[in-house]
């Protein structure tokens, strides 16, 4: 009976979507074609759901393969079909792609931000079929000496783009002066503006952005 053990777990977190502990970012982690073939040749199983992918392997089979393998190179695509994700993600331009390179040479647990952004026009032609759903390319290096050293954990972190919300408070009683007050022991987290009037009514109001 084959005794499968966790080999590699890649988690993709997003500052907005992972607000709650058990929330899942709407980002799929898909192995590139050659990587999928390599995993199959090594007898590894893939278990995936939005925001995470697990590679599961037979330790005995890995021990037999270690002499046949030099460094282990894996490539994954980060894909999302959520139409709002890009507008909430901190990236240089709307359709840029993050190119992430990590190595498990020093540690079995890694965390990396989504950075090193590149223009999608510079991507290889083979990746264009993902259209605007491609968020990133993840390249993972596992040195030969770490191949059988137990489970490896990688977390990729996307950050949220700062957003301003503008609110209006109006008085229907046409009061001449309005103000917004805060407790004396706390600082306001909004920017108050001078009183404005509703265009078609004589109603003074205070707009502020947060």
Is residue 189 domain-resident? no
Q: Over 60: is that where the pLDDT of 101 sits? A: yes
pLDDT of residue 62: 85
Q: Over 70: is that where the pLDDT of 182 sits? A: no
Could you tell me which residues are beta bridge partners of residue 138?
A: 76, 100
Is residue 188 domain-resident? no
Is residue 169 domain-resident? no
Alpha-carbon span 182 to 187, nearest angstrom:
7
pLDDT of residue 171: 62
Give the residue carrying structure tokens 């590699």: 8
The tens digit of pLDDT for each residue in 191-205 reads 555 555 554 455 556
Alpha-carbon span 66 to 108, nearest angstrom:
17
Share of residues in the chain with pLDDT > 90 (%): 40
DSSP string, 74-116: EEEEEE---TTTGGGB--SSTT-EEEEEEE-SS-SEEEEES--
pLDDT of residue 119: 84
Closest CA to 45 of 79, 13, 83, 4: 4
Is residue 78 domain-resident? yes
CB count within 10 Å of CB 57 equals 22
Q: Over 70: is that where the pLDDT of 67 sits? A: yes
Is residue 25 domain-resident? yes
State the average pLDDT over residues 80-100.
88
Structure tokens at 25: 């970012």
pTM of the model: 0.77
pLDDT of residue 69: 79
Structure tokens at 11: 């988690």
First and final CA of the chain: distance in angstroms?
A: 59
Mean per-residue pLDDT over the chain, rounded: 81
Is residue 12 domain-resident? yes
> Are 154 and 136 contacting, i.e. CB atoms less than 8 angstroms apart?
no
State the average pLDDT over residues 120-149.
80
* Structural domain that includes position 126: 5-158
- The domain total for the chain is 1
Q: Over 60: is that where the pLDDT of 136 sits? A: yes
Is residue 190 domain-resident? no
Is residue 107 domain-resident? yes
């Amino acid at each position: 009976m084959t005794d499968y053990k966790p080999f590699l777990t890649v988690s993709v977190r997003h500052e907005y979507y992972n607000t709650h502990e058990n929330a899942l970012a709407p980002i799929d982690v898909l192995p590139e074609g050659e990587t999928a073939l390599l995993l199959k040749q090594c007898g590894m199983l893939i278990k995936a759901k939005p925001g995470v992918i697990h590679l599961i392997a037979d330790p005995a089979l890995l021990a037999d393969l270690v002499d046949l393998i030099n460094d282990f190179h894996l490539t994954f695509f980060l894909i999302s079909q959520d139409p709002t994700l890009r507008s909430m993600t901190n990236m240089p331009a709307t359709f840029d792609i993050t190119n992430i390179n990590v190595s498990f040479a020093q540690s079995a647990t890694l965390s990396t931000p989504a950075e090193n952004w590149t223009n999608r026009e510079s991507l290889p032609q083979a990746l264009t079929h993902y259209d605007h759903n491609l968020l990133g390319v993840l390249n993972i290096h596992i040195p030969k000496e770490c191949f059988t050293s137990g489970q490896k954990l990688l977390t990729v972190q996307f950050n949220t783009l700062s957003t301003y919300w503008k609110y209006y408070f109006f008085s229907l009683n046409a009061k001449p002066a309005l103000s917004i007050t805060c407790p004396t022991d706390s600082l306001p987290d909004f920017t108050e503006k001078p009183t404005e009037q509703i265009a078609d009514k004589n109603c003074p109001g205070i707009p502020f952005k947060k």
